[in-house]
Amino acid sequence: MNAIEDLPEIDYGAADFKAAPLPTLAGFARRTKLGRSTRGVEIFDYDLCREAIVDRRLGTGHPRLMKVLGLPEGQALDYKRNSISFHDRGETRRRLRNPLVRLMGADQSERFRRDIRHVVTQIIEATPADRPVDFIAAICDPIPSSVYCYWINARMEDAAFVSHTSHIVQQVHTRDPEHTKAIVEGFNALLEFVDDRIAFARKHPGDYLLSDLIRVTDMGELTEDELRNWVVKLAEANTDNSSHQIAIAIAELASRPDVWARLGQDTSLVPKALREVMRYHPRSLSTSRETLEDVVLDGCELPKGTAVFPNIGAAHWDPRHYPDPQVFDIDRPDKPPHLNFGGGIFSCIGRFAVTMEIEEAIALMATRYPKLQVRRAEFSHSPMFTSVEALEGVLDPG
């Protein structure tokens, strides 16, 4: 039986990780299934990652994260404590998820597609096609934040606020207390905005997601606080993550002219191309868990309260499941699935809508702009995420 201190250590601040994060993670996966870092125990093996994500002995890592950040008492911390992020497996988490699963499941989310396509078309058509542009500011940020505004019946002018605030509050995952003040201010602003939108929606019911959530609340499935928390969570989790994932997809697909041409000629290939993007260069490099009891994982003793990180970036480059993982291949089989959206009761509820946003953006851009040029793409990689720091190019209809 091994102890945590016996595991090989990965240094996320080392030059090799910063220079080539995914090959570095893949190298660890070839040598060991488990490792350790300053944040906790790291899982590098695909099978162990997938099992840990749904393992009932592992709970959410958010309470520990708030302690690391030193989030002070106040409405931001109250929101985090009472949102679904703080609830482990059990009846409360299941009850909170059920209404959203019904409203945003695979089939139900298809009702959003027409309006998402409309949002995507408006934003891309408003982007100059004859000169270099900042794709993040012009396309990647506005799409998910505008879709969120559509969900809550807000003005499209509010999309910039939603995008900016989502980027700020997602800094919780940096685990850096230097960001705590900005995070608190961001959550406070977002909570105030959401309170105003709920009050407006109660006076103006209609055929949009927030109105549906209010009806669910009035039927007793959610409390008023839980309604508020879900509307905040949709902005917190969807907007920032979706923006980066759209940017990664544009960068990886448009930088390969042969792939981009295939997508423009046959948009039915877009879903499997996106699966490969999320496999090859995932937005989520890891997810956080905490042991709810003493656990033995692959022969290693993990005491109750141990921070555990299924390392998605390593799992996606596991050659036992993805032959030649360093090769970008949109014709890969769709199994095993990528792990970006988690699994089981911890799966991302908005994953179908998020995927739809990216599909519609790539399909339209590849069709309309077959000569699209990516002139600058810069990424940064933390232990948790891939972030696109810069994405510039020319749409160029050719």
Mean pLDDT by 10 residues, the chain (398 residues): 92 94 93 96 96 92 85 92 84 92 93 95 96 97 96 96 94 89 95 97 96 97 96 90 96 97 98 97 94 95 96 94 95 93 88 96 97 96 95 90
Q: Which of 353, 328, 309, 215 is nearest to 12 (CA)?
A: 309
Angle between helices 224-254 and 142-152 (to 10 degrees): 150
Q: Pairing state of beta strands 307-310 and 289-291?
A: antiparallel
pLDDT at site 60: 86
CA–CA distance, 353 with 130 (Å, rounded to integer):
31
State which H helix or E strand residue 206 sits in.
Answer: none
Beta strands in the chain (DSSP E): 34-37, 40-43, 58-60, 133-134, 289-291, 295-297, 300-302, 307-310, 373-381, 386-394
| Matching residue, tokens 């697909």 | 253
CATH of the domain at 281: 1.10.630.10
Residues whose CB falls within 8 Å of the CB of residue 75, separated by 6 or more in sequence, listed in order: 187, 188, 191
In the chain, the number of structural domains is 1
Give the pLDDT score at 64.
Answer: 84
Q: Which residues form the domain of 69?
A: 4-394
Picking from 265, 257, 283, 262, the residue whose alpha carbon sits closest to that of residue 273 is 262
Which pLDDT score, from 0 to 100, does residue 238 have? 78
pTM of the predicted model, to two decimals? 0.94
